[in-house]
Structure 1
Amino acid sequence: MGRAPLKHAQRKDQARGINRRALLAGAGASAGLVLAWAIWPRNYRPNLNAAAGETIFNAFLKIDRAGQIVVIVPQTEMGQGITTLLPQILADELGADWRTVGVQSAPVSPLYANDLLARQWLASDWTRLAGEAGEWAIDQYATRRALMLTGAGTSVPMFHQSYREAGAAARVLLCQAAAARWDVPWESCDIQNGIISDGGQKRLKIGDVVEDAAALDVPEILPFRQRQTDRLAGQDLPRLDTPSKIDGSHNFAADIRLPDMVFASIRQGPIGDALLKSVNEDAARSVTGFLKLVRTDRWVAAVATNWWAANKALDLADPVFELMGNPVSSEGIEAALEQAFAGSSGQRLYSRGDLAPLFDNATIMASEFSVDPGLHLALEPMCATARVTDDAAEVWTATQAPGLARAAVADALGIADGSVTLYSLHAGGSFGRRMDVDVGVQAALIAKDIGRPVQLLWSRLEDVIQDRPSAPAHARMAAKLGRNGVIEGWLAKVAAPCAMTQTWDRVAHRKLPFEAARDAAGISTRLAVSGMELPYALPNWAVDHFPADPGLPVGFAPGNARLHGAFFTESFVDELAHQAGIEPISFRIQMLGGNPRLAHCLTTVGAMGGWQGGIEGSGQGLAAHQMDGVYAAVMVEAAINGGKLSVGRIIAAVDGGDQVNPDIARQQVESGLIYGLAIAMGASVPYARGMPRRAIMGRMDLPRLADIGEVSVELVRSSAPPAELTDIGAPLIAPAVANALFTVTGQRFRKLPLLPRT
């Protein structure tokens, strides 16, 4: 097997220039932790399996004798196109024929740890103060715990360089092998469309020398491709997952079939600390095909020869749960958020300048905003298939955290992590919901109890009840306008629970949802106010977070806290522009002197959309945002017809760097825009007595094709490194629509969903 171009953990340290001796010398009180980590093994080798005729080149690539390119992808495909983007990066550097490229999901391994998302998720005041040393510590934690995470638009930024190196290394090795046969310098050889040539008449297929190539060594300096023509990167190549999804051969979790397999449905009680009290098993036995009820303290599952029978048996069994504490209600959520402002755990997380003298005895403009929790409502409900023996388990499921899912299953079964084989499948949508790992654990426990392979599929009702929605939030915004409409001071106070903190406690620390919500209730963190850090160059501004416990467990979502953060910020900016009597694009651009990329997006979207200046009756509104190397502006045309919101046009201008596949990039933006529109229109439900009052999607005022007109996405040309655009659209659409509705109604819409529930 050929040597990998660089060991994963070593490469990351070298890239940051971290000197371990200097780190240990300056570690102070934390030196014990760093020293303990330092004795761990640093090098990892690929744990891939090779079929007959396949050769493993590195952790990201296998090639067989026929020239089939098999790219290993550690990220979960949820419709965002990552199983095309990462192979396209590698195939471009390799010089492969795109028609020969296939994809295989990666096994759990430290080589695939997503330390970029881990740094975003686990950063604290300590790690920020420690600088590079703090980042190094998180990277080591992520690598050694094999934190394979998909989310927050980190897949391409995290793995772009690794896939370039993997492709370049394989190209060099293949060229070396061919050059040895031809007795020419390998530097004179290249690969194009899967054919190795020496620039003259000598030609070989990749598969002809694959075994010879894998036995060679990569040079110390790895050359990347210099050719600028006939490159795969930057092309609108067809998605690799499309054909199988069209012909039905693509396997999602509910498609798995095993010998002797049975089916299960589950009930988990109302939201909160709920214990199973009673169940009518005699009634369940009346259903043809029913086999058994499997009970735990927190849930009951019916097992049958088909899923319909299992779900029907549960309906007849009529499980009764006892709820400890106060049940979740919409009124309780609102009260808890308001009460948080009066609490003592609020903290100033962002600050520039000094607001106190500026606001003292001054005329201040103030507004209050609120956002309801937003449901995920993925097309595919939670599902997992499990087969368990006395000392091992296999689990088939879609998960955004396969390493943590495997560990949770092993812990529940009382076996070692290595005894669990987890087959990470593509998800039929997720929007962050599959960061939680409970369905795999439940399936494994049911399979162990019944002694047969089991497929557990949640009903749509269960999916809604047990959803971990995006966080509800309240905001109190205040600002002082100076001469010429300049914002002299800005203060945002936000009351919200932190969804990312709760999610980490659930998936990493095995806390029950109500425990994670309770334990995070007093923690103030920047993760809860993401998107509130202003892109505008204001001299004096601050953001305060007031942690809250509304009793509703919350979770990962597109944009996470930016769903409410951008709504608060961009809606209030529009109000200030109106108060100052300045056209909204100009109002924003005058504050973007140090941010030309966002200014360019604003001018582009204005030109594309025929911006009329936000005048009364125009029905036009806009919003701008930046996040993690992505800059975007959105303009919409919206109206209220017959009491229902309609959006005639959506125009987005996005600068996300040099995109690998522009067509997929546009798909990602469009997907985020529609998800954000669903949040604005009705992807939330009222709660009462610990339960959602709606569970049928047709009653949630979700956007339909008839409600949405033309959607145009312009990718601004950029030479910056490519970013992933999965999350940028979702936070932008709600404030843009709210600002548009103001021009036709004269009223400000400061609450999501934007229209009252019918």
Structure 2
Amino acid sequence: MTSIVSPARRNFLKSSLVAGAWIVGSSALPMLDSLAADEKNQTVSPFDFWLSMDAGGLVTAYTTVTNLGQGTHAAIAQIVAEELEIPLTKVRIEHAPVIQQFHQKWPPGITTFASAGFNAAQATVAPACAAARHMLIQAAALQWQVEVKDCMAANAQVHHLASKRSLPYTDLIKAAALLTPPEKPAIKSPKDWKLLGQSAPRPDIPARVDGSAVFGIDVQRPDMLVAAVLHAPRFGSTLSSVDDSAALAVKGVRQVVRLVNAVAVVADRYWIANKAVQLLKPVWQDGTHAHINTASMRDSLLTAVAAGQGKPVASARIQHAEATQKAMEAAKTLIDTTYDVPFLAHATMEPLNATVEVTAGGAQVWLSTQSQTDTQKGIAKALGLQPEQVHIHTQNAGGGFGRRLEHDFAVEAALIAQAAGVPVKTIWSRENDMRAGYYRPITASRVRLTLDQDDMPLALRHDTAGPSLLEYTGVTNSPAEDGFDWTYLMGWFSSSYRFPLFDTRWTRVDFGVPCSYWRSVGNSQNCFFLEHTLEQAARSAGMDSLEYRRRLLKHNPKAISFINALAERAGWNKPLAKDHYRGFAMNGLGDIQFSGHIVEIAVVRPGQFRLLNITAAINPGLVANPKAVEAQMMGGTLFGLSAALFGEISFKDGQVEQGNFDTYPLVSLAQTPQLDVLVISTGEKTKGVGEEGPPSIGPAIANALLAASGKPVNRLPLTQAGWQLVT
């Protein structure tokens, strides 16, 4: 089933029918590769390779979304079942091969980020399924000699209502495969959904629970060796020399591989390699930022935002510098707060790894990644190959959070395998994973908010400073646009709140520390800056936190409705016990998407508090799988909670001080209070959910602590602001 784009395509479809299967594209990857070469300059319809149906009616759908544990594959299975009118048990989801036919405009190429997985599938897999359904119905109508409009699909069958005849899909696939698909297949309207919009079990959960799921770190290849890596202790340092005699003396060690900023030991097994790599005696040549310290970096950022000489965002529509300055000078009330937040690690449960086999014809790569296309290009460049010579085999991933958008670890693994001449699995230890870079940028911000005669926001001046992640991340690897890193705007200009006047400026302060996208990116800190400032404004006005937000959002009834639903769920108006306090924070995108938290805390003694309960809510527009959204909001909440409570990557004499979960703790089960999630579906289009949990949990706690102490919380993690969680 596909557009007739070339003789090769038609011959392929005919040959597939011999086996009794109907294939949109092919589940045979070598055939896909050959077709990619054959049809390089052909016009291919957007659903050419997305589906296959075997003789037993099992449908395989391809996705470009990596299975990071987020549950998107379950939602894609629902799309397939919905559009094709088949049971979920008849659907299998596989990751697409990394070839041009599967490249998308957004996210670019084959990439998983920006919570775009479901919508990407709606633009690709859903039309393929709608086309398949149409052609199956058409095949049955031709066989019965009736009108297509008088037939319908249901439960993997086509039915003719008037004559009460029906045919299973398996009897129609040969005839359907010979038909020409519609040019613009129409997917179902949400009002016609039967499976979508309902909670469905995730088929990957049993394998994740019993350990049978294969992650990148589980890959095994014939004659494979394993490598452990030791990176330079300071960013920007390079390897001058290494005494490897002790390492090579360890039984099972095969080779020591020298890289630019690292050295690796290749051995029979990982623990042998990991033991031997610690026996190496490398000599490093320090770089420009060899002796940075967190205290001095923080001072630099605070000085920059105090000076207020940063680059203004280049947009007359959202930048009102002169008017904002006049409002500041004439302000009746001015809320002026300086904030700072640290570098943060991604701390995925599965450490970075990749298995690579390099041959004369190219490279085979097995890994957990969020960025297949970028990784393919990076490895090809490093090995002197063409991208199509690098074959990426995507595995399940034990978390990504943006770290697996980078390809540094994969390129490193490819160079090690090339040097070894055999398949090599390279595994980063937890310490290497924690210390070898790509963090959320360290940031400082000064927020000045003027209030009018009614104590409502009039003008907002935002000065922020920090390194540009755009200069480091392999996904973009480009300078800031017009001299301004747009990630520092996230959560400000897209906010559901409105400010009559706005002036924002960014100062680039670089410390030579690789930075990258971190779950919810700039909004992970900007929501804190904004919501804690608004909380201070509410206190200045002598108003209830939510009532103040309602007045500020009078133009946005959907946002007010969301706040009211969250408040009711959390019991906002219920009396509080002595020394108990509540805090609210919202992360809103215009009038189309909202998430937020209400927390209740108890202050047990000065500087110490207990987290009693968390109520989270999310309205991502249209909900495809409520339970999956609930799980995502829970995971995102705990991810953001860990960062707010104790997350910090700090430097001393140029070296990262944290190395494992003992020094970079994640919130434990004992520290996690009752967590209730409200999922609201009131929109017409689906929006992302993966990045909605982290931004507002930190400011919700900060706002509760402000209510408790009367003092702003201007620094995260809370341990750096004088607050400690007790259980």
Fold shared by both chains (TM-score > 0.5): yes
- SS of the counterpart of 1:190? strand
SS of the equivalent of 2:525 reads helix
User: CA separation in 2, counterparts of 1:78 and 1:475?
Assistant: 32
Question: Partners in 1 of 2:550 and 2:528 — Cα distance?
Answer: 18
Contact 1:650 1:710 in 2 (8 A): yes
Q: Verify: 1:740 aligned to 2:709, yes or no.
A: no
The corresponding residue for 1:654 is 618
Flag the 1:73–1:158 CA change in 2: closer, same or farther, 3 A: closer
Asked if 1:218 corresponds to 2:218, the answer is no
Q: Which residue of 2 aligns with 1:184?
A: 146
In structure 2, what residue type is equivalent to 1:325? T
Query: Which residue, 670, 674, 680 being the options, matches 2:644?
Result: 680
Which of 234-243 and 429-438 deviates more?
234-243
Deviates more, 1:552-561 or 1:531-540: 531-540
- Stretch moving more, 246-255 or 458-467: 246-255
Q: Which of 319, 322, 325 lines up with 1:351 in the alignment?
A: 319
Instruction: Give the alignment partner of residue 334 of structure 1, picking from 282, 298, 307.
Output: 298
Residue of structure 1 aligned with 2:519, choices 544, 548, 558: 558
Unaligned stretches of 5+ in structure 2? 6-22, 36-44
Aligned to 2:484: 524
The 5-angstrom pairing of residues 395-474 of structure 1 reads 395-474=365-444
Spell out, residue by residue over 1:673-692, the C-alpha distance to the aligned partner (whole angstroms, 9 max, x if none).
Answer: 11110110112132112221
**In the alignment, what sits opposite 2:12?**
none
- Note the 1:131-210 alignment, pairs <5 A: 142=108, 147-199=109-161, 201-210=164-173
SS across alignment from 2:552: coil
Letter in structure 2 aligned against 1:552: V
Residues 405-414 or 191-200, more deviating: 191-200
Alignment check: 8 A CA contact 1:619 1:637 kept: yes
Give distance in 2, aligned partners of 1:614 and 1:472. Answer: 39
Amino acid at match of 1:560: V
- What is the aligned partner in structure 2 of residue 690 from structure 1? 654
Q: What does residue 546 of structure 1 align with?
A: 507
- Point out the more displaced range, 228-237 or 662-671: 228-237
Q: More displaced, 64-73 or 485-494?
A: 485-494
Residues 1:357 and 1:339: Cα distance change in structure 2 (over 3 Å): closer
Contact 2:580 2:602 in 1 (8 A): no
User: Can you give the 5+ residue segments of structure 1 that lack an aligned partner in the other structure?
Assistant: 6-44, 118-141, 510-515
Residue 508 to residue 719, structure 1, CA distance change in 2 (3 Å): closer
- Which deviates more from structure 2 when the two are superposed, residues 47-56 or residues 320-329? 47-56
1:200-225 Cα offsets, whole Å, 9 max, x none, are: 54233222222321221123563444
Partner of 1:288: 251
Measured at CA, do residues 297 and 498 of structure 1 come closer, stay the same or move farther in structure 2, by a change above 3 Å? Answer: closer
State the distance in 1 between where 2:247 and 2:190 align: 67
Deviations 1:179-208 (A, max 9, x none): 222332232222222222223542332222
Distance 1:182 1:233 in 2: 31
Moved more, 527-536 or 746-755: 527-536
Note if contact 2:621-2:684 (Cα within 8 Å) is conserved in structure 1: yes
- Taking the aligned partners of 1:82 and 1:739, their CA distance within structure 2 comes to 33
Aligned partner of 2:80 among 90, 106, 118: 90
8 Å CA contact 1:332–1:550 kept in 2: the answer is no
Q: CA separation in 2, counterparts of 1:345 and 1:300?
A: 40
| Displacement of 1:367 | 1.0
- Aligned pairs for 1:251-650 within 5 A: 251-327=214-290, 328-341=292-305, 342=307, 345-348=310-313, 350-352=318-320, 354-363=323-332, 364-503=334-473, 506-507=474-475, 523-533=483-493, 534-612=495-573, 617-627=579-589, 629-639=592-602, 646-650=610-614
Q: Distance in 2 between matches of 1:560 and 1:265?
A: 30
Aligned amino acid, residue 351 of structure 1: Q
1:571-601, Cα deviation, whole Å (9 max, x unpaired) = 1100110011011111111111222222111
When structure 1 is superposed on structure 2, of 376-385 and 162-171 the one drifting more is 162-171
Contact residue 602 and residue 609 of structure 2 kept, 8 A: yes
Normalised by the length of structure 1, the TM-score is 0.85
Shift of 1:114: 4.2
Determine if contact 1:340/1:547 at 8 Å carries over to the other structure: no
The answer for the alignment partner of 1:105 in structure 2 is 95
Q: Distance in 2 between matches of 1:227 and 1:545?
A: 42
Alpha carbons 1:276, 1:297 under 8 Å: kept: yes
Answer yes or no: is the 8 Å Cα contact 1:636–1:650 preserved in 2: yes
How far does residue 53 in structure 1 lie from its aligned partner after superposition? 13
Q: CA RMSD in A?
A: 2.8
SS at match of 1:705: coil
CA contact (8 A) 1:174 1:210 kept: yes
Q: 1:420–1:46: structure 2 CA closer, same or farther, 3 Å change rule? A: farther
**Separation in structure 2 between the aligned mates of residue 381 and residue 508 of structure 1, nearest angstrom:** 23
Question: 2 CA distance for matches of 1:500 and 1:215?
Answer: 48
Letter in 2 for 1:456: T
Return the letter of the residue paired with 1:71.
A
Could you tell me which amino acid in structure 2 is paired with residue 346 of structure 1?
A: K
- Once residues 350 and 94 of structure 2 are traced to their aligned partners in structure 1, the CA distance between those partners, rounded to angstroms, is 21
Q: So what's the TM-score if we normalise by structure 2?
A: 0.88
Supply the distance in 2 between the matched residues of 1:546 and 1:307 (Cα, whole angstroms): 44
How much has 1:720 moved relative to structure 2?
A: 1.9
Mapped partners of 2:170, 2:471: distance in 1: 48
Q: Which residue of 1 is the match for residue 14 of structure 2?
A: none
Q: 1:731 deviation in Å?
A: 0.6
